[in-house]
Amino acid sequence: MKPQTAIGIISILACLCAAGCGNAKREETPEQTQLKAQLDQQEKLAAQTAQTYHAMDNAALINKLVEQSARKREPFNSLAYRELVTRKDVDSKALASIVNERKNGDAILPLLLLRKLDQKSYTQIPAEVRSAVLTDALEQSKTFNIWGMPNFYLEDASQALLESGQRAYPNLRRMLSETRPAPVYGSKAYRIYMRYQFRLCDYALFYLKRMQGDANYTLPVSVADRDTQIKAILNK
């Protein structure tokens, strides 16, 4: 069940109750009954799915993780990631092997999970491999919630990309020419996106500026000002 679906149903149901519960003797309407039944069913399905993942062994969960990573799920939207990150006996070698074999954005969830669970094994993956996975995932992104929002908050994927350092420069520099939109979902985040009109090149600019030593760099609100900064980098 998608969280926004449940929230929407609950909101509708609350409104119906507000209208109908003022009179204690008024019976529940058929619409209220149907919405309650729908919500109960969705909650049961969500609980059953979570239980199914909880019952899986680590090997099966890692297989699911790889599938969900290739489908561009964020860590918070990957049931496999959410279950594995709670476990203490995940095979770090298996995660590292996936990353080293794929070397592209399809391996982002195994990479981020390894970073969370085993920093030593994570840092043993060559920086060029880590940066290849992260920059490819960035370039492939259709929505950008996995990265967070420059100037406001950064998710683990952004932190990992910043850590990869100079190895990421060539790919990020190439992305400075990619002006396609970088949308996010979620009402508050979407309002920020609409104000800034973030693009893929803006994410690349933000990371490059931070990597080059400006730890407090923030993107200008004006698209024209950002384009001026991008041109200055490309003309060097």
Residue-wise pLDDT for 117-154, tens only, equals 999 999 999 999 999 999 999 999 999 999 999 999 99
Closest CA to 203 of 236, 180, 232, 185: 180
Q: Please spell the DSSP secondary structure of 104-121, one letter per residue.
A: SGGGHHHHHHHHHH-HHH
Q: How confident is residue 51, by pLDDT bands cut at 50, 70 and 90?
A: confident
| Whether pLDDT at 28 is above 80 | no
Residue 234's SS3 state is helix
CA angle 203, 109, 172 (to 5 degrees): 25
Whether the CB-CB separation of 171 and 122 falls below 8 Å is answered with no
Distance of CA 146 to the CA centre of its chain: 2
pLDDT tier at 39, thresholds 50, 70, 90: low
pLDDT of 205 > 90? The answer is yes
pLDDT band at 26 (very low <50, low <70, confident <90, very high): low
Residue 86, CA distances (Å) to 78, 113, 117 in order: 13, 10, 9
pLDDT band for position 7 (50/70/90)?
Answer: very low
DSSP state of 166: G
Identify whether the C-beta of residue 158 lies closer than 8 Å to the C-beta of residue 126.
no
- The pTM of the full predicted model, rounded to 2 decimals, is 0.80
How do residues 55-114 score in pLDDT, each as one tens digit?
999 999 999 999 999 999 999 999 999 999 999 999 999 999 999 999 999 999 999 999
pLDDT band at 49 (very low <50, low <70, confident <90, very high): confident
Between residues 44 and 129, the one the model is more confident about: 129
User: Predicted confidence band at 33 (pLDDT cuts at 50, 70, 90)?
Assistant: confident
Give the 3-state DSSP-derived string for 31-96, with helices as H, strands as E and coil as C. Answer: HHHHHHHHHHHHHHHHHHHHHHHHHCCHHHHHHHHHHHHHCCCCHHHCHHHHHHCCCCCCCHHHHH
| Gap between the Cα atoms of 64 and 57, Å rounded | 11
pLDDT in tens, 164-198: 989 999 999 999 999 999 999 999 999 999 999 99
